Amino acid sequence: MELPKSLSTKENTQLKEILARVKTYYQDAESGHDWLHINRVWNNALQIVKSEKANAFVVCLGVLFHDIADPKFYDGDTEIAPKLTRDILEEFEVAEEHIQQVLDIVVFSSFSASKTAEKLPDFIEFKIVQDADRLDAIGAIGIARTFNYGGYKNSPLYLPGDDSYNNSTIQHFYDKLFLLKDLMNTNAAKEIASKRHEYMLAFVKQFKAEWEGKA
Ligand code: NI
C-alpha cells in the first residue's frame, strides 16, 4: 500500500507498523469487508485527500480500522471495534486527539450508523473515509460486490415487477447503490461517484434489456 507523502517520519513508521498489525484482524472477514476492501478504500481515500485540507495520517488510520470487528458479524456487538482500535492505537503511541478521531470514524462510518445517528461527526477526515468507503460500494466494484453478496445470501438475481417485497440483487441497486452518489461529502468523491453511478445505470439498463430478450 502506498503511503501519503505528507506524513512525518514518526507517523510513517507508526502507520507501517499499525498496518501490519491491523491486517491480521481482517483475515477471516467476508469478501465485502476484507483486507482487499481496505486496500481499495485506502486508494480511494488517497485520491480524495489530494484535494482536501486533511490530516492524511488520521484518514489512513480511519481507513485501516473502519471495518474492524464489524458488529454485523459479532452478534451486533458494537463495543468490540472501538475497544480493539483504542488498544492498538495506544500500543503504538498514537496521540489521544488522533485516537478520538479514529474512534469516531470507526463508530460512525457504517451506512446503518450514518442513518440512525442523531449527529454525525463533521471533521473532514471522517467525511473522507466515509466517501472512500461508499465509493467502493458503487461502480464496477459495487456491481461485483453486490452480486457476490447476493450469491452468498442465495438471493434471486432479479424479480421483475412489484418492488416492495423484492429481495433481488437488482433491487439492491434501487434500495441503496443508486442513492450513494448523493451522499458524498467531498467534491473529489462526488466527481468519481457520478462516473461510477453512470456505469451502474448503464449496467442495470442492459441487464433488464437482456432479461426481456431485447438486447
Ligand atoms: Ni468499509
List pLDDT tens digits, range 56-75.
999 999 999 999 977 666 77
What is the distance in A from the centroid of ligand 1 to the CA of 200?
Answer: 19
Alpha carbons 202 and 54: distance in angstroms, whole number: 34
What is the distance in A from the centroid of ligand 1 to the CA of 25?
Answer: 14
Count Cβ atoms within 10 A of the Cβ of residue 107 and give its class: 0-12 exposed, 13-18 middle, 19 or more buried. middle
Q: What is the mean pLDDT of the chain?
A: 92
Is-contact 135 114, C-beta < 8 A? no
pLDDT at 188: 98
What is the distance in A from the centroid of ligand 1 to the CA of 161?
Answer: 31
Count Cβ atoms within 10 A of the Cβ of residue 62 and give its class: 0-12 exposed, 13-18 middle, 19 or more buried. buried
Least confident of 26-30, 32-36, 195-199: 26-30
What is the distance in A from the centroid of ligand 1 to the CA of 136?
Answer: 8
What is the distance in A from the centroid of ligand 1 to the CA of 204?
Answer: 24
List pLDDT tens digits, range 88-124.
999 999 999 999 999 999 998 865 666 777 788 999 9
- Cβ neighbours of 54 (radius 10 Å): 22
Tell me: pLDDT of 18 over 80. Answer: yes
Is-contact 170 207, C-beta < 8 A? yes
What is the distance in A from the centroid of ligand 1 to the CA of 211?
Answer: 31
Alpha carbons 122 and 103: distance in angstroms, whole number: 13
- pLDDT category at 192 given cuts 50, 70, 90 is very high
Rg over alpha carbons for the chain, rounded to the nearest Å, is: 18
Least confident of 26-30, 111-115, 207-211: 111-115
Alpha carbons 98 and 51: distance in angstroms, whole number: 21
Tell me: pLDDT of 29 over 90. Answer: no
What is the distance in A from the centroid of ligand 1 to the CA of 69?
Answer: 11
Is-contact 7 46, C-beta < 8 A? no
List pLDDT tens digits, range 149-190.
999 999 999 999 766 678 899 999 999 999 999 999 999 999
Angle in degrees, CA 131, 136, 141, rounded to 5: 155
- pLDDT category at 76 given cuts 50, 70, 90 is confident
Q: What is the pTM of this model?
A: 0.92
- pLDDT category at 200 given cuts 50, 70, 90 is very high
SS3 7: coil
Query: What is the mean pLDDT of the segment spanning 195-212?
Result: 97
What is the distance in A from the centroid of ligand 1 to the CA of 205?
Answer: 27
